[in-house]
Structure 1
Amino acid sequence: MANPANPVPAPGTADARPLSKRFRPPVLVVLAASGVAVIALLVVAGGWLTPYDPEHQDLMRSAAGPGDGHWLGTDALGRDVFSQVVAGARTAVVGPLCAAVGALLLGVPLGVAAGYRGGFLDAVTNRFADLIYAFPAMLLVIVVVGTIGDGYWFAVAVVILLILPAQIRLCRNMTLVQARLPYVEAADVLGLPAARIMFRHILPNIAPTVLATFLLDFVGALVSLAGLSYLGLGAPPGTPDWGELLRQGQSLLAVNPYLSLAPGLMIIITATGVTLLGDWVYDHSTGGAGRR
C-alpha cells in the first residue's frame, strides 16, 4: 500500500520526491563509483603511488610470494607485482578510453547525419556496418593485429573500427525516431539549418543513450585490448599492463597466483563499476524511466 506521505508517481508523470532523494544513488552504485574513482586515481597518479620502480628487477627474489615489502610478491624477473598492477592501470585504461572516444567522435556525427539526411550517406554507413558485422569481431582483431603487428595503438585503431558500426546504427535509428516528432518538423518549417537541427535539437535528446553506449564501448574495448595483450598482440612484452600481467602469471599460478589474480580483479572492478555507473546515469538522465 502506498504511503500518503511519500506518494509514488504514476507512470509518465513527474517524480514529486525531493531532488536529493531522486538522485541519491543506491549503495551498489556508490561502491561502483568508488571503484571507478580509485582506478582513475591510479591512471592519473599511478607513477607516484608505486612503492617500487615497476621495471626494477631483483633476480634474487624471482617469482616470490608476498613478503619483504612486496605486498603481492614478485614476477619471474623479481619485479614488484603491486607496482606493476598500479602502473599498468594507465596502459590498460587509456587505450580503451581512446577507442571509445574515437568511436563516439566518428559514430555520432555519421549516425545522426545518416538518420536525418538519408540517401547516399545512409546507404554507405549501412553497408559499412554490414561488412564489419559479417566477420567475428575478436577473430578479425587477432588476424589483423597478428598479421600486421604494428603495436598497441594499431590494435586500438582496429578496435575503434569494430565498435564504430554499433554507435553509427544506434544514433541513426534514434535519429529516425526523433525526426518524425513535431519539434523537428517545426524546426524544418522554420527553415533552421540541418546542422543546427541535428546537433542542437536532436543530439541532446539522444545523448543519454549515446552516453550509455559510450560506456559499454569502453568496457568492450577494455576486455578486447586486455585479451590482445594476454595473447601477446597488445601491449609490448614487459610493459606494465593488466592483460600482459595475466599472460605472465599463467606460468606462475602455482608459485605466485597474485600475478594473475590482481590484474584480473582490476579488470573486473573497472568493467563492472563503469557498467553499473553508466546504467544509473542513463536511468536518471532519462527521467527515471527505469526506476522501480
Structure 2
Amino acid sequence: MTTLEAPAVAPLARHLAGPLDDEAAPVLVLSHGITDSAACWIEAIDRWTAAGYRIVALDARGHGDSPRWDASDLASRTATGARLASDLQTVLEELRAHGLHGEGPLRSPLAVVGHSMGGVTSLDVAAHRPDLVDAVVAEDPAFVTPIWRRLMAMNAFRQVREMQQIAADPQARFDLELRNNPTWSPREVRASVEAACGVDLGFIAQGCVSPPTPWQEVVDSLAVPTLIVTGTERVVLRGDNLTSLTRRANPSIQTAVIEGAPHCVRRTYPDRFHAITDPWLARHLDADASRSAERTSHRAA
C-alpha cells in the first residue's frame, strides 16, 4: 500500500537587504505585526543595512507575498497560532543550515526582531529553540491572556470589516494615518496600507495574533539575550501587564519603556527606539559571534 505524504507547507516570502555577500555580517530576521508586511520595516531596514547588518524581512503567512492560509491551519486558533510559530522556526532552521543564499551553514550571529504579533512569535520560537537565535528584540509583543483571546475572536469581524474599508479606499486610510500620526514615515504608512489591502481575511477572522503557549511560560523559558521595548499609550505591555512581566525576573530579559509611545513604538519615535535597540544589538551580536562560530563548528563535526 502506498503511503501518501502530507503536502509540504509553502515557505514564507523573504526580502533580503544589506551586505549580502559578507558572510561575517550579522543577520537580523524581521517579523512584522498583523496586517503589515516586510515592506513596513523600510525605515529600520535603511538604518540597519547602513550599520552593516544583513536583513531577512519576512512576510507572515497571509500577508504580503507569502502564501495564503490553508483551511486546516484555520480550523482553530490553536492551530493558527502554532503555524505562526512553525513558520518562523522553519525560516530560522533553513537560515542556520543553508545561509541566505544556500551557501552553507550560517557562521554569523542572528537576531530576530519582531513587532506585536511578530514580537510574541519571535519570543515564542526563541524560548522553544534557543539554538536558532542569538538575541531577540520584541517591540510591544502581543502577549494575550485567555480572556483577551476570546475577546479578540469575538471582535475579529470588526477588523475584517476595517480591512475591507481600507481596500475600498486606501488613499483615505493613508491620509488619515498621516494626520493622526505626523511622525510616521510616509513610506511605511503607504506600505502598511498596501499590506492591509491584500491581507488574508480568513486569517484576520480568526482573531489570532500569537502562538498558543501562555506568555508566562515563554517569559520564564527564554534563555537568550532578550530586549522588550514598549511605550505608555495604548500599548499591550503597560501597567500591570508590564509589571507582571518584570516581576518574573528572568535575567535574560531587559525591558525598556519609551514614554508617550503607542503600540507602534518604532514608527512613532524612531530615533528613541533605535537609540535603545541599536547599541543593544551591536553589543549582544558582537558578544555572540563566537557562540555562532562554535555552533557551526559543532554541526560540521
**Normalising TM by the smaller chain, what interval?**
under 0.3
Structure number with greater Rg is 1
TM-score by length of 2: 0.22
